[in-house]
Amino acid sequence: MRWSRATPASAATARSLRDGLRGWAELTSQDVPPAALAAAMWTYATMHGVISLELNGHLPPPMVAGGAFFDSAIRAMLTRIGPAAG
């Protein structure tokens, strides 16, 4: 999967975040575009947050039943990062 500078992930990042992502990319041993790192962190944060809310009992039971809230959060995250270029 290849990411390009035209992905929504790169378009949606503030300059300071892009600078931080470039710095992080330079620390990796592979050529990882900043947009891919942003997408990875948004994915991790979304999944960690939704799962933590459920496991720690911070979601009302009707929100957990059937997984609709989880599905909605994941779909919103996927919309934000957009498809992989390539």
Print pLDDT tens along the chain (86 aa).
454 554 555 555 577 787 888 888 888 777 888 778 888 888 899 999 999 998 898 988 888 787 888 889 888 888 888 776 44
SS (H, E, C) 45-80: HHHHHHHHHHHCCCCCHHHHHHHHHHHHHHHHHHHH
**What dihedral angle (degrees, nearest 10) is formed by the CA atoms of 25, 31, 34, 35?**
-150
The answer, as to whether pTM is greater than 0.75, is: no
CA gap 67, 17 in Å, rounded = 32
